[in-house]
Structure 1
């Protein structure tokens, strides 16, 4: 195996471990928040998930800028992974040991998210640093993300059967493993440390406004992920009477095709450009989301979840590869951090809007709103593809 392929596999394994740890908590999050002192299900679950992703939004750019400034990735990945592991263990131990209020638990959750995002975002950035084709590298990242979430949902549901804190301990162990794996990867961050590099990195977005396009689509994609992590979880349990294990299986029906198809769709985007997968996917994605909410039986809902996963797999690697296409080599960490910030904002919006609408108007209204936001934002953004300069258009529309 070539060094590039080996490092691609190891980095994808780091991304996989981080996402697996994160998603282990989702199927039984109502049980988890009850165990740490919450008195409501939907609202408390929403704020527990929001606390982590709010920290992602605030801290992703800091990790990326620090990495670009230092000209190193690996030490920051290790620090983020080990810090995230401590955070997961603290969530399992401290609420009972220190009699924490639920608000204090949310602070611990935010600190865990602030460190975890460093490992995730910079592992993605190291994949951007590799050669071999951006679509191929982002396809590897996508399949790692998809497999982590595909396995995490049903596995987390099973782990909740042993107790509400078991997924937290498992998540902590996974992040320790992720930090250990990162030590075996050589740094390929472009350039050397220079004074003023931090300000240069933070100026990336204003210098390359074309990066706004993949950021918008990253926002849209993660909006629906946040929606399903919260509203979908509670919906499946209440509408169809599913327990945590069965809910994990339902979430897995989305994440399994999302995982398995990421790599081939990423390679496809290298051949045909980024515009076709993104445009076709965005046109259908919102409709598929609404289809889940309209499903009269759990079986039909499962089929609709598979469709959402296939369409998401078509879009995701092309969107991430577009970040690689458009970013300067010297500011990839900040570029990918920006993508993750917008993605985390989308996740937040998906949870907050979905949770609020579901609480006030019911689950069907929440699915319609989420689908409409997805399709509407995509349609507004698609004309921007044709405003790229010549070199950017070659990546977007194929060579």
Structure 2
């Protein structure tokens, strides 16, 4: 196996481990927050199971938002990736273990648990974002490399949800321990891949200035925001919606989520290669319109079987959009600013997750699940429609800047 192919496989496996560990917690989040001390009598953040679950998920992504840029800037400024991935992975593992031990310390209130969750997210995002950046640094085609990242993300989410549901039935805290072990493994194995970051140190201010000179990055950032918003919506509101509407348990809920994540994962690599051949416009714009319509179909499905079928269709459409969007970030960013460019993309994505939790949770709590699905699916379609003129201004052509780079062929 060629060294680039081998390194792509190893890095994709590490991205998989990072996402798998995160998704372990989602199907049983209501049981987990109860085990961590979420009590309406003692915490304003736990007025209902929905509220406690929402704030627990929000706390992690607040850490993502606050620190993802710091990790990217630090990596680009130092001209290194590996030490930062190791530090983020090991510190994130320690954060998961601290959460697992929190119930044994009765004096820790739920607000303290949320603070631990914030710190865990702040550390974990460094390992996740910079491992994807290491894939960006590889040769072989941007769509191919981001397709590998996408299949790892999708498989991690697809398998993490059902496995997390099963672990929850054994012990609500078990997903936390498993997540800690996986992140420790990421920290131990990442050094086996050569660090291909562009050499040379730069000031953080220079890194930020170079990215600001590329306003076109706002296009993939916008799509990253709305795509991750839908994922955050399904992780929280979708989970509770399936359980409330179809009266299913955590394990079955995990399988329903897997109906989305399985095709989403398995089709990422071929869809990424496809975007190298035909360009990014059709996969991103047309795919997003159909993806938003698919979300509306999930909310309208009258039975579990039809909901599962709609989730699978949404997964296929998501696989069309996701690798092309990440590849567009690589197309637009200079080699020396890939860390902060991917950090910006993950920052937008983390804000999207937060939006999915907050908008979905608030709308579902106040107006019901039907309107929540309509709002989130409609936003996906609206962003795609609004972005069409911007894509035209970029003059995307498969034979030019968004095709397979000559040097990567």
TM-score over 0.5 for the pair: yes
Tell me the number of residue pairs that the alignment of Structure 1 and Structure 2 aligns.
Answer: 397
Counting only pairs closer than 5 Å after superposition, residues 189-268 of structure 1 correspond to structure 2 as: 189-194=197-202, 196=203, 198-268=204-274
Counterpart secondary structure, 1:164: coil
Structure 1, unaligned runs of 5 or more:
none
Q: Does 2:108 align with 1:100?
A: yes
Q: Does 2:67 align with 1:59?
A: yes
Deviation at 1:392, TM superposition (A): 9.9
The residue number in structure 2 matching 1:90 is 98
Query: What is the rounded CA distance, in whole Å, between the counterparts of 2:306 and 2:270 in structure 1?
Result: 27
Counting only pairs closer than 5 Å after superposition, residues 277-356 of structure 1 correspond to structure 2 as: 277-356=283-362
Query: What is the rounded CA distance, in whole Å, between the counterparts of 1:384 and 1:10 in structure 2?
Result: 36
Query: What is the rounded CA distance, in whole Å, between the counterparts of 2:197 and 2:82 in structure 1?
Result: 9
Q: Does 2:19 align with 1:19?
A: yes
Give CA deviations for 1:101-151 in whole Å, capped at 9, x if unaligned.
111100000000000000000001000000000000000000000000000
When the two chains are superposed, the root-mean-square deviation of aligned CA atoms in Å is 1.4
Deviation at 1:280, TM superposition (A): 1.6
CA distance 1:392–1:107, shift in 2 (3 Å): farther
Contact 2:278-2:398 within 8 A present in 1 as well: no
CA distance 1:72–1:391, shift in 2 (3 Å): farther
Give CA deviations for 1:319-355 in whole Å, capped at 9, x if unaligned.
0000000001111000000000000001111110000
Give CA deviations for 1:268-324 in whole Å, capped at 9, x if unaligned.
000001111112211111111011111101110000000110000000000000000
Deviation at 1:369, TM superposition (A): 0.7
The residue number in structure 1 matching 2:380 is 374
Deviation at 1:100, TM superposition (A): 1.1
Deviation at 1:377, TM superposition (A): 1.6
Deviation at 1:220, TM superposition (A): 1.1
Contact 1:36-1:96 within 8 A present in 2 as well: no
TM-score (norm 1): 0.97
Q: Does 2:126 align with 1:125?
A: no
Give CA deviations for 1:141-194 in whole Å, capped at 9, x if unaligned.
000000000000110000011110000000000001111110111110012124
Deviation at 1:36, TM superposition (A): 0.9
Deviates more, 1:135-144 or 1:34-43: 34-43
Deviates more, 1:309-318 or 1:283-292: 283-292
Contact 1:272-1:398 within 8 A present in 2 as well: no
Structure 2, unaligned runs of 5 or more:
40-47
Deviation at 1:389, TM superposition (A): 6.3
Give CA deviations for 1:35-82 in whole Å, capped at 9, x if unaligned.
111132111111000001111111110000000011000000010000
Match of 2:88 among 80, 91, 107: 80
Counterpart secondary structure, 1:235: helix
TM-score (norm 2): 0.95
Query: What is the rounded CA distance, in whole Å, between the counterparts of 1:170 and 1:262 in structure 2?
Result: 26
Deviation at 1:398, TM superposition (A): 7.8
Give CA deviations for 1:11-45 in whole Å, capped at 9, x if unaligned.
10110000000000000000001111113211111
CA distance 1:219–1:393, shift in 2 (3 Å): farther
Query: What is the rounded CA distance, in whole Å, between the counterparts of 1:113 and 1:201 in structure 2?
Result: 24
Query: What is the rounded CA distance, in whole Å, between the counterparts of 2:80 and 2:106 in structure 1?
Result: 38
The residue number in structure 2 matching 1:8 is 8
Contact 2:80-2:199 within 8 A present in 1 as well: no
Deviation at 1:205, TM superposition (A): 3.2
The residue number in structure 2 matching 1:35 is 35
Give CA deviations for 1:350-398 in whole Å, capped at 9, x if unaligned.
1100000000011111101111111112211121001126899933478
| Segments ≥4 residues shifted beyond 3 Å | 389-393, 395-399
Deviation at 1:223, TM superposition (A): 0.6
Deviates more, 1:203-212 or 1:234-243: 203-212
CA distance 1:93–1:391, shift in 2 (3 Å): same
The residue number in structure 2 matching 1:48 is 56
Query: What is the rounded CA distance, in whole Å, between the counterparts of 2:244 and 2:107 in structure 1?
Result: 30
Query: What is the rounded CA distance, in whole Å, between the counterparts of 1:68 and 1:376 in structure 2?
Result: 34
Contact 2:211-2:333 within 8 A present in 1 as well: no
Contact 1:57-1:344 within 8 A present in 2 as well: yes
Query: What is the rounded CA distance, in whole Å, between the counterparts of 1:205 and 1:168 in structure 2?
Result: 36
